[in-house]
Amino acid sequence: MARVAGVSRATVSYVLNNTSAVRISEPTRRRVHEAAKELGYVPHAAARSLRAGHSRMVLMPTPDVQVGPLYSRFFNELQWALSRLDYTVVQYGGVGLQSDEAVRAWAELRPVAVLVPGSGLGTQGVAVLKRSGARAVVTLGPERVEGAHALLMDHHGVGRSAGRHLLERGRRRIGVVVPDDPGLGIFSRPRLEGVRQALEGTDASVTELPLAHDEESAARLAARWRSLALDAVFAYNDEYAMLLMRALQDEGIGIPDETAVVGADDLMLGRLLRPRLSTVHIELPSARELAELVDRAVREPAAPPEAREVLGATVVHRESS
């Protein structure tokens, strides 16, 4: 490149590294940049971050559960919002890594900020990330972790909304689907607990219904449905609701007359079912707001960690309840 620009190698390095210690004339700078462009030179992010002491990389570990369309859209919007603030968003596949190991792998990439969905990051993990240069650690999950900013996604409210709605509709024996997938426990346990909270002090009861996401399990549950004597079910989310509702209908169980069904997530498929599925609409934080929180945290690493409740839940009443 020095040859193409007609300058010394040192000059090329000074210009491309934007060194201010050495005075270089504007025409020379321009010549070097033109030569770089002509030769298809791409700066080295790693080298630049070593020089700068930090990168513009925001690391988002991929959640270890299969995320639904709702979360995929949210992550896409967040990536977009962060890239508009000049961050490079990188998703890291933590698949198969245990927590400690995962945190060290994230730290090796020297991100300036880490956004951790789900639970599992401990105080120790936050410390490792900060020591290796992360200026901001933000968790998106059910609880606060010391030293990290927290976007609290409390799923109790989802269950409470569903429970209150079913009570208001006159239901008293309420089943709650709990997916068999242990990875979903951080969502399903608080949703179940939320239904219990809504029913406290009433004569209504809660029955826990473990269910795998396949037709056979749904058919088995439907076959013993009448013996359970339930008049309503909160089916965890719309996909489980579709699965269970189909099995109940195939058993000849009237919906909503015999059993009211409520899902969650407000997916389009719920509107396509007959009867149309009642659901809990979940309000996620705005991607732009979250991106700005990350940016603020990066620019003021010494500020005390913020915690914010971000999950809204409202029932969309359709025909199934």
Contact residues for its own copies (CB under 8 A)?
40, 42-50, 55, 62, 66-67, 69, 72-73, 76, 79-80, 83-84, 88-93, 95-97, 104-105, 107-110, 127-128, 131-132, 213-215, 242-243, 246, 268-269, 271-272, 274
Q: How far is the CB of 90 from its own copies (least distance, A)?
A: 5
Q: Which residue, 163 or 263, has its beta carbon nearer to its own copies?
A: 263
Helices (H), the chain: 2-5, 9-16, 26-38, 45-52, 69-84, 99-108, 123-131, 156-168, 185-199, 215-223, 225-228, 238-250, 268-272, 287-299
Q: Which residue, 33 or 246, has its beta carbon nearer to its own copies?
A: 246
Residues 208, 176 contacting (CB under 8 angstroms): yes
Q: How far is the CB of 172 from its own copies (least distance, A)?
A: 28
Handedness of CA 14, 15, 20, 21 (dihedral sign): positive
Q: Which residue, 198 or 218, has its beta carbon nearer to its own copies?
A: 218
Q: Which residue, 145 or 198, has its beta carbon nearer to its own copies?
A: 145
Q: Residue 139: beta bridge partners?
A: 116, 150
Q: How far is the CB of 76 from its own copies (least distance, A)?
A: 6
Q: How far is the CB of 104 from its own copies (least distance, A)?
A: 5
Q: Which residue, 203 or 216, has its beta carbon nearer to its own copies?
A: 216
Helices (H), 176-214: 185-199
Helix 287-299 vs helix 69-84: angle between axes, to the nearest 10 degrees?
50
Scan for tokens 């396949």, then name that residue: 214
Handedness of CA 235, 240, 242, 247 (dihedral sign): negative
Q: How far is the CB of 61 from its own copies (least distance, A)?
A: 10
